[in-house]
Amino acid sequence: MLLLLAGCAAPPPPEPPLSYPPSARERMLRIAEAEWEDWGRQASDAPARGSEADAENFPRVLAYWRAVPEGAGPIARNRPLYREGSPALWREPAWSAAFISFVLRGAGVDAREFPPSSAHSYYLDALIADARRFPDAAPFVPHEVAERAPRVGDLVCADRSAVPISSWRERAADEGRFRPMHCDIVVRVARGRVEAVGGNIRDAVTLSRFATDPAGRLLPRGPGQPTWFAVIENRLGRLPPWFPPSHSEGPAS
């Protein structure tokens, strides 16, 4: 009888997220900028200066894959390519989500608050669920592109699929299914644009410049480009006890 009752017991409630100090946010941005520097300060609108296939970049991409649970397979497949000097080095699978995971892991953000993944769609699922469950405590909060002007430290996310979504709420309804996506880390904001660093853009860690409207919100991208669907607010170091609560936090239900 005791075993039967134990089997019927409700699972424990999810653990609330931790509130991180400002140093975590600062480290996140320093690491993103440092990786961009290491790749030669490449920009998406300028000639390429290096590639994932360059032998000197082998350990860089390997480090990104080591940051995610799925990294063993890609590393095992690419070690022989490096040994052979193959131009196909790190060509597949895409490593942009591993790069984001590497940056957050290096910043000291635990897997409870940012689950590392080789797919943007899966870590976003966790961030969205956390923001809905703990709107006052989640360190990352999704916003509609039309509702938030990106700020330094935010993630800007686009859908790369043939039939793209245009709202994070659509992703919430599709939770758990793979969808090709891409997110970048905002490192600078200026009038008319945001600058963001991401991985596996033109086969490198690259800075991209995205146009914004007079209010600083992302403008739609051109034909054939991925479709914006979310701005992920970064609240590392911006929650109590480190910072007073803001009035605008938390996603709409």
| pLDDT tens figures, 193-231 | 999 999 999 999 999 999 999 999 999 998 889 999 999
DSSP 249: -
Report whether pLDDT(37) > 80.
Answer: yes
Name the CA radius of gyration of the chain, rounded: 19
Tokens representing 28 are 């996140």
How many residues in the chain? 253
pLDDT value, residue 47: 84
pLDDT value, residue 174: 86
Q: How, if at all, do strands 42-43 and 204-211 pair?
A: parallel
Instruction: For residue 64, give the nearest of 21, 18, 106 by alpha carbon.
Output: 106
pLDDT value, residue 186: 99
Residues in contact with 238: Cβ distance below 8 Å, sequence separation at least 6, in sequence order: 22, 25, 246
Distance CA 98, CA 199 (A): 8
Tokens representing 221 are 């991208």
157-199 per-position pLDDT tens digit = 999 999 999 999 999 888 888 999 999 999 999 999 999 999 9
Distance CA 140, CA 177 (A): 21
Residues in contact with 174: Cβ distance below 8 Å, sequence separation at least 6, in sequence order: 165
* Global model pTM greater than 0.85: yes
Report whether pLDDT(244) > 80.
Answer: no
Angle 22-38/96-106 helices, nearest 10 degrees? 130
Q: What is the DSSP string of 155-212?
A: EEEEE-SSS---SHHHHHHTTTS---EEEEEEEEEETTEEEEEEEEETTEEEEEEEEB
More confident residue, 164 or 49: 164
At 93, give phi and psi (nearest 5°). -80, 170
Instruction: For residue 107, give the nearest of 38, 33, 200 by alpha carbon.
Output: 33
